[in-house]
Amino acid sequence: MNNKADLIKGPIAKSIFMFAIPLLIGNLFQQLYNTVDAYVVGNYVGKEALAAVGAASPILNMMIGFFMGLATGAGVIIAQYFGAEDQVKLKKSIHTSIALTLVMSVVITVVGVCATDWILTMVKIPSDVFNEASLYLRIYFGGVTFSLIYNMGAGILRAIGDSKRPLYFLVVGCLVNIVLDFVFVKFLNMGVAGAGYATLIAQAVCALLVAGLLLKTNRSHKVYIKDIRFDKEILKSIIKIGIPTAVQNSIVSLSNVVVQSYVNAFGSSVVAGYSASIRIDGFIHLPLQSFSMAVTTFVGQNIGAKNYDRVKKGAKTTLIMTLAVIISMSVILFSFGREFIAFFNQDPEVIEVGWIMVSLFAPFYCSLPFVQVTSGVLRGAGKSTVPMYIMTFNFVILRQIYLAVITQLTSEVKYVFMAWPVTWVVCAIMFMIYYYKVNWLPVISEENSVEEILVNE
């Protein structure tokens, strides 16, 4: 069975859509990991446990986000060599990516475990949820290697056009997580620790499945343990594209940690309502992430194959599809927001806080496709510094300026929540100005190699 989408020669809309759907379903199951944790602890432990799991999420995203940025850089390089049919460089780029994953696993594990309590103290986590948030984070970081191996392995498969098998593996892992969540939390009364261990074991299953496939396949993406090492030039290319995205992810996630420190000041009930809303917000972002990942691979492969005329057509098609999905989801969310919040916790105060956040976000989600699709296109073209500058300015600098000013003017939490929509809209405007005013995809001669394209970008 062919698991690869034809992004180089196939019909543009159909190719991107068929490639994005497994990514969307996969991201859905990825989101279910933390959502099931939140549901189980929120309903079978209490709102303090829900607040603890929610408080941990931005910190996890901050640490994992840096690695995922590097993985994005690796995926772009692999996609371009795959499109160029350069088997030697493709093999080296894959093995360099695996070596990078192993090194980053050690770094993130050590930093994550050692810095957990310090970070929680800095963001002013309420005292009644501090210990549980600390325990959840330490368990997660203790097994973070599994998460990194799966995500890099899945990224390698997607870069060569295979978005289906990472989905299959993720479905298995999610089912394991759901079953173990109920076993550990509901039946064995392990509390937040049970949710953490369930996630760790599920990610280990995913890592073993993707690693097994890469080691056993006979195709060009086969991994040989003896060949796992850094190729200096390819590592430079991965870092050139990946570091800006990694820095952007980490800084934006750090900004969200700081934003949560403002929310934490309102107490555990508000933190619980915020946590429930963030879970729902995560589902809205799934198609954004999926189509952004799809168009990055699409652009990377077509640049490698020198199909430059398909790039902008693919960007426009992806934007239209993403807008249609997001607008539909926003209408549903606005109509049933309270019911969605109540799914996580029945406390009236938690529901009310969650609804305030949901109702403020829903009308502005339509600005996000312009941000995520355009950033995906630019990354695929090798211009990863542009999304870094634009998104860091808006989601870090502008957002913090807004919060610093607004919290001096009012003490209502809804104005804190408005920090997200305000910066989304400004960010979308800046991306559109860049996309249409700057010649970000110059005409390149047919003789240029992938390496020359990367240098030019």
What total number of domains does the chain contain? 1
Tokens at residue 295, please?
Answer: 């168009």
pLDDT in tens, 338-367: 898 888 878 888 889 889 999 999 999 999
Residue whose C-alpha is closest to residue 424's, from 374, 355, 356: 374
What was the pLDDT predicted at 212?
Answer: 94
Under DSSP, the state recorded for 441 is: S
If you average pLDDT over residues 252-280, what whole number do you get? 79
Q: How confident is the model at residue 319 (pLDDT cuts 50, 70, 90)?
A: very high
Range of the domain at 399: 12-456
3-state secondary structure of 162: strand
Q: Is residue 86 part of a domain?
A: yes
- Global confidence as pTM: 0.69
Is 319 among the domain residues? yes
pLDDT at 79: 82
Per-residue confidence band for 36, with pLDDT thresholds at 50, 70 and 90: confident
What pLDDT score was predicted for residue 453? 47
- On whether residue 7 sits in a domain, the answer given is no
Higher pLDDT, 256 or 90: 90
Long-range contacts of 85-90 (CB under 8 A, 24+ apart): 86/450, 87/220, 89/234, 89/450, 90/220, 90/221
Share of the chain above pLDDT 70, in %: 94
What is the predicted pLDDT for the residue at 93? 93
**95: confidence class by pLDDT, cuts 50, 70, 90:** very high
The angle formed by the CA atoms of residues 433, 436 and 442, to the nearest 5 degrees, is 130
Alpha-carbon distance of 351 to 273, in angstroms, equals 6
Kindly state whether residue 253 falls inside one of the protein's structural domains: yes
Instruction: Please report which confidence band the pLDDT of residue 273 belongs to, taking 50, 70 and 90 as the band edges.
Output: confident
CA atoms of 159 and 221, how far apart (whole Å): 10
User: Of 130, 71, 77, 141, whose CA–CA distance to 106 is shortest?
Assistant: 141
In this prediction, residues 376-405 reach a mean pLDDT of 88
| Residue 6 domain-assigned (yes or no) | no
Residue 1 confidence (pLDDT): 44
Determine the pLDDT at residue 332: 93
Q: In this structure, what token pair is assigned to residue 439? A: 């010649």
Q: Residue 5: what pLDDT?
A: 55
CA–CA separation, 2 and 399 (whole Å): 45
In a domain, 214, yes or no: yes
The pLDDT value given to residue 33: 67
The 3-state secondary structure of the chain reads CCCECCCCCCCHHHHHHHHHHHHHHHHHHHHHHHHHHHHHHHHHCCHHHHHHHHHHHHHHHHHHHHHHHHHHHHHHHHHHHHHHCCHHHHHHHHHHHHHHHHHHHHHHHHHHHHHHHHHHHHCCCCHHHHHHHHHHHHHHHHCHHHHHHHHHHHHHHHHCCECCHHHHHHHHHHHHHHHHHHHHHHHCCCHHHHHHHHHHHHHHHHHHHHHHHHHHCCCCCCCCHHHCCCCHHHHHHHHHHHHHHHHHHHHHHHHHHHHHHHHHCCCHHHHHHHHHHHHHHHHHHHHHHHHHHHHHHHHHHHHHCCCHHHHHHHHHHHHHHHHHHHHHHHHHHHHHHHHHHHCCCCCHHHHHHHHHHHHHHHHHHHHHHHHHHHHHHHHHCCCCHHHHHHHHHHHHHHHHHHHHHHHHHCCCHHHHHCHHHHHHHHHHHHHHHHHHHCCCCCCCCCCCCHHHHHHHC
Phi and psi at residue 4, in whole multiples of 5°?
-105, 140
- Domain assignment of residue 2, yes or no: no
Of 198, 253, 279, 338, the C-alpha closest to 67 is 253
Is 3 part of any domain?
A: no
Tell whether the model's pLDDT for residue 444 goes beyond 60: no
- Specify the pLDDT at position 455: 43
